[in-house]
Chains A and B, each alone.
Chain A
């Protein structure tokens, strides 16, 4: 009964604290909206078609057509075709309008065909002993494709794009060679009736995301920001929770409650249970935002995976860690101002380290290693496991144990501080 009435009292106090409710529910909702929208394009650049590419096609023949089709098929580029000079193309890239520019010179396809035929003729003549020079000497300068890159492009990205384009061109070259060989053989054996030559690649690669249950979910801004900012909000309740504890201490309520037989422990547990319930409501609300509201803004829908029980368990464990932290802040702080400042700064630092603001996969190596000290990172990794990798309880257990340990340590720390320092 004592515990129930303590929870009921906390509920009444909280429900009438409009500013506290705004911090608890409104702040994370607004943050999820804003940050998800801001980061959406950044995440897309890592995952989806969004690289603006300019093609200046003066060839307008097989090579340029095949190259453009291959680039379109990759779903990695947003292609714009223009008929402008090299200098104009360079200027457009330099202005940042496009990330990459490709200039395909006039008659590139035609010259490629001639050069391919010439090479095949030379090769076959070597077998027949006819070493006469080719009739049409090739001007190789016409076969040079010009690539322009925006200076902000990272060298690794530049290399990847260059290699991809070279690979496509090599394939076209090879196809031309095979066609030339086919034609030459037909010249030498006019009465044969060969089947059309298959120029399709002999070796292909198969790609898929390595995940359980064949899940192939690609991380996007919703998948990152919804759990990240939910965890941030969960830990941010340390401010109202600590404020609540300090207020009771300064207005004499704690004094009165401590003089009652065994009651203060019920009051503290009542607070913790109330705030864990608040954390779970926050989590449910943010999940709804990701599932139903963000898609209305043109953002991807949150995929919550299949393990709903494990998802609730992670939210509950994060809630335990957050309330333990709030309890510690409230116990060691001497004033509401001190708790607000210390709590807010500490949560922001833990969030920054833990990959809430900037995901850990884009962090420098040193920061990636440092991120494992943040309880927000443990929660985030557990959510990633469920959302992106379809992990079960077994796989995320290490993260859950860390959150439970954090709760146990902060709670013990609070009780020890209360007993050894405040009541001495």
Chain B
């Protein structure tokens, strides 16, 4: 399978700490895959995603997205990445429509085209009737769905999702997962997904990597990982590899 993201020997050390947040990490994300990045708290997932998005520069190593280096072609790389942060990164006093219009323009999308995309996305995620309500009046699930749309407006080739279903009800969770599956199968969008919902990851991701202490401990196709480790689920694999110790 053709790779879309190539990470080689990535190292990140924060100033004033002796710990290495990301330690010589190498990873390949196949094009059109749904790639799950799992790991306990403090494993280095957020640091890794921040570097992948071009927010932090690595101390060592390289990041290639669709054949282009993030270090030297960050503008081109950023243009094809969509990010859905764990936080509801929206302006609560603005309406959903106002939020999406602003964010779409920040991606440089023309107004007419942007309005069509916003309308389509809102309809698909069942929020069109609430488009002109302030975000502060939305339920947790509605906010998560708008948060997802905000990362999709520029039709990215790589969608990075950091805990996209945390704190939402079953219906909203299902709507989000179904929509992501649709994007992956119908548009061929490559998805990088992090979550603590391991059963959700097992169902949703074609490939999974488990990260701990800044290192990739294991990675591969989801089904293969389960069978190779003689386990029944990805949760069992996860516990087998990372152990039962608290990671507070």
Interface residues of A (CB under 8 A from B): 1-2, 5-6, 8-9, 12-13, 16-17, 250-253, 255-263, 266-267, 423-424
Contact = CB atoms under 8 A, between A and B. Distances in A.
B126 interface: no
B150 A256 contact: yes
Contacts of B91: 9, 12-13, 253
Given A13-B93, A258-B55, A423-B56, A252 B107 contact: no
B106 A252 contact: no
29 contacts: A2-B105, A2-B108, A5-B106, A6-B102, A6-B106, A8-B102, A9-B91, A12-B91, A12-B93, A16-B93, A16-B94, A17-B93, A251-B87, A251-B88, A251-B89, A252-B85, A253-B90, A255-B50, A255-B85, A256-B89, A256-B103, A257-B106, A258-B55, A259-B78, A261-B79, A261-B107, A423-B55, A424-B14, A424-B15
Given A259-B55, A424-B15, A5 B86 contact: no
Given A5-B101, A261-B78, A262-B75, A255 B106 contact: no
A28 to B, nearest CB: 23
A274 to B, nearest CB: 13
Interface string B39-65: 000000000001001111100000000
Contacts of A17: 93
A262 B19 CA distance: 31
Contacts of B89: 251-253, 255-256
A105 B174 CA distance: 104
Nearest to A420: B15
A267 B78 CA distance: 17
B109 to A, nearest CB: 10
B13 to A, nearest CB: 10
B81 interface: yes
A259 B87 contact: no
Contacts of A258: 53-55
Q: Which 3 A-B pairs have the closest CB atoms?
A: A252-B87, A252-B89, A5-B105
A259 to B, nearest CB: 4
A232 B83 CA distance: 40
Interface of B: 14-15, 50, 53-57, 74-76, 78-79, 81, 83, 85-91, 93-94, 98, 101-103, 105-108, 150-151
A253 B84 CA distance: 10
B94 A259 contact: no
Contacts of A13: 91, 93-94
Contacts of B98: 9, 12
Given A1-B108, A251-B90, A256-B85, 15 more contacts: A6-B106, A12-B93, A12-B98, A13-B93, A17-B93, A250-B87, A251-B87, A251-B89, A252-B89, A255-B50, A255-B87, A259-B81, A260-B78, A261-B107, A424-B15
B106 A267 contact: yes
Contacts of A267: 106
Contacts of B94: 9, 12-13, 16
A288 B151 CA distance: 46
Contacts of A256: 83, 85, 89, 103, 150-151
Contacts of B14: 424
A260 B91 CA distance: 17
Contacts of A260: 78, 106-107
Nearest to A256: B89
A261 B53 CA distance: 10
A266 B105 CA distance: 11
A17 B136 CA distance: 13
A4 to B, nearest CB: 8
Nearest to B75: A261
Contacts of A9: 91, 94, 98, 102
Nearest to B15: A424
Contacts of B53: 255, 258-259
Contacts of A263: 106-107
B206 to A, nearest CB: 24
Contacts of A253: 89-91
B229 to A, nearest CB: 34
B102 A5 contact: yes
A260 B160 CA distance: 13
A389 to B, nearest CB: 45
A248 to B, nearest CB: 8
A421 to B, nearest CB: 8
A172 B86 CA distance: 90
Contacts of B15: 424
Nearest to A15: B93
A117 B218 CA distance: 122
A1 B108 CA distance: 8
B230 to A, nearest CB: 39
Contacts of A12: 91, 93-94, 98
A249 to B, nearest CB: 10
Contacts of B57: 423
A255 B50 CA distance: 9
A166 B55 CA distance: 79
Contacts of B86: 252
A13 B14 CA distance: 34
Contact of A255 (B83, B93, B107): B83
Contacts of A255: 50, 53, 55, 83, 85, 87, 89
Nearest to B104: A5
Contacts of A266: 106
Contacts of A251: 87-90
Contacts of A259: 53-55, 78, 81, 83
